[in-house]
Amino acid sequence: MTALVVAGSGAQATAAQTDPTTKATASTVPLPAPPVPSLSWTDCQGGFECANADVPLDYRAPEGRKITLAVIRKKAADQTKRKGTLFMQPGGPGNSGVDFVRGNYDDLPAALRDSFDVFGYDVRGVARSSALECWDDTRYTKAVTDAKGAPGPDAFGPALREAAEFNQACTDKSADLLPFVGTEYVARDIDLLRQALGEEQLTYYGRSFGTYIGTVYAALFPKRVRALALDGAYDPVHYANQPYSYDKPQYLALDGAMSRFLDWCKADQATCGFGDGDPRAAFEKLKRDLDANPVPTASGGLANGYTLVYRLMFNINSGKVIWPSFGEALRKAQQRDNTSFLLRPPSPGSFDFLVPNVVVECVDKDYPRDQALLKRNVTAYAKAAPLLGPAMAFGPPTYDHQHATACTQWPGERVSRYDGSYRAKGSKPILVLGTTGDPDTPYQDAVALSRQLDNASLLTFKAEGHTAFGRSACATDAVTGYLVDLKVPAKGATCADETQPPTVTPKVAPPGTTLGELRNGVDERLDRLGSLR
């Protein structure tokens, strides 16, 4: 873990802090210019170079306390043809940008590797950049082991108390960092890194939560945009300022994807092989059976109905190509076979991702503090999304739409959250990508973002699964042409080349999937792109 670095007194930052119940943010007041970090590159194997960048902990006091960010790059093979630096930003919040670049570089199209130095970094509070600490592994393990795939009618009160306990652990262990991990400060870090790399303008690919980071950057620094590709986009207004309006579509999108899988399973029982003609009823029964009688795992843990839901929530992002693997894994779960990848309890690798996922969103989002409103909403969402929704609504704080119980009680300051205009007036054209069956970032979010930005083009991928780049040759080519040559797809452009379900369970992981793990990769932290070139 990289520690916070003290450079001078932190008194300025302390004096500038605001009451946590106010909506004041850094963007509401003029900020003094921060110093540009100096990058001393060293070899870190495989042709990559690594460095550390010291940036202000609090941008209202840029000469005060610093936080050190871990960065990585791989230079373009032919520097005479180099167009600049491509910033690669993974999803999350919580995924490592260093691992994202290192793990996906070889699968990038040759045109990107030839045209750019490919660059990534761990954002503040994540991985090597002063990782946030809340629950330890033992406490998180207890939370996900005690959770249910089909929680009962009295689940709200315990969920609220458990979320408050999570919040207290964050305060106890990370109080100095909590106010400063919001996305406005992340975007300001990017602009300092841009300057440190000698780039006049930013070239950027962001996926999932990385689209929100890119959107905030464009809003703050529209004239500094060369090209921003935002894949699996967030509706920024709903995300930051109307979070219940953001959460509900995510519940529905996730359940919708699961429902379409079960419909396929019923229609193609020979390939799916789960459910004896009624896979929906079989799935509901399986959740209840696993809750009542968890399966011992090889590592000595227990897998229950919540484990099943948790694994489905992430793996369903891979789209139709993984559906036969779901059928096989569900059959194994019915047989209490703990080799099913859907019966792998969340591990410490997951927890490293989940802690910042919760904290950053609680800093970014302006949830009302009314607990009666919270109960009405999460209860309604669980009812509207019956396949996976109840486990999410009443489970512990883990991923995205499970954050409301924690965020409505969030005790910390939120001075680094962004709540300003998202127009990015005066920017160069921005490319937004949306996938029609996306279970994680609903397609309508991409439509909304393309309309909120002053100068944006929307590319639609007609498919199941999360994001488009690397999963669609059509979309991958469009993104590559845009980033390299600034070619913007025509208005109304669509791609429809999703890989269809194979007729048998694949023995080798299809592009963009790992079959047996979270979408975050084999160590449960790495966000994977597909291997289309």
Per residue in 158-215, pLDDT (tens digit) is: 999 999 999 999 999 999 999 999 999 999 999 999 999 999 999 999 999 999 999 9
Determine the Cα angle at 254 with ends 252 and 260, to 5°: 95
- pLDDT tens string 485-494: 999 999 999 9
The token pair at 184 is 């406005």
pLDDT of 347: 87
Residue 532 has pLDDT above 60, yes or no: no
Residue 509 has pLDDT above 60, yes or no: no
pLDDT of 78: 85
SS3 of residue 5 by DSSP? strand
| Closest alpha carbon to 95 in 316, 347, 356 | 356
Residue 395 has pLDDT above 50, yes or no: yes
pLDDT of 21: 35
CA 83 to chain centroid, in Å, comes to 28
151 DSSP 8-state letter: -
Residue 454 has pLDDT above 70, yes or no: yes
Averaged over 259-269, what is the pLDDT?
A: 97
- pLDDT tens string 293-336: 999 998 889 999 999 999 999 889 989 988 999 999 999 999 99
pLDDT of 503: 74
| Closest alpha carbon to 55 in 44, 43, 64, 68 | 68
The token pair at 481 is 């042409």
Residue 41 has pLDDT above 70, yes or no: yes
What share of the chain has pLDDT > 90, as a percent? Answer: 82
How many other C-beta atoms can be found within 10 angstroms of the C-beta atom of residue 273? 16
- Helix 371-384 × helix 156-174 angle, to 10°: 120
178 DSSP 8-state letter: G
pLDDT of 508: 60
Averaged over 340-348, what is the pLDDT?
A: 91
What residues form DSSP beta bridges with 464? 437
Please tell me which residue, 91 or 388, carries the higher pLDDT value: 388
Phi, psi of 479 (to 5 degrees): -65, -45
Q: Measure the CA–CA gap between 70 and 165, rounded to whole angstroms.
A: 30
pLDDT of 420: 87
Averaged over 523-529, what is the pLDDT?
A: 55
Averaged over 264-284, what is the pLDDT?
A: 96
pTM to 2 decimal places: 0.92
The token pair at 181 is 């991990």
What residues form DSSP beta bridges with 118? 74, 86
Helix then strand count (H, E) for the chain reads: 19, 12
Residue 25's pLDDT band (boundaries 50, 70, 90)? low
> In the predicted model, what is the mean pLDDT of the chain?
90
The token pair at 505 is 């369970």
pLDDT of 527: 65
Q: Measure the CA–CA gap between 85 and 525, rounded to whole angstroms.
A: 24
Range from 31-35, 57-61, 428-432 carrying the lowest mean pLDDT: 31-35
pLDDT of 311: 93
Averaged over 480-499, what is the pLDDT?
A: 96
Averaged over 240-249, what is the pLDDT?
A: 97
Instruction: Tell me: cis bond preceding 502? Omega within 30 of 0 counts.
Output: no
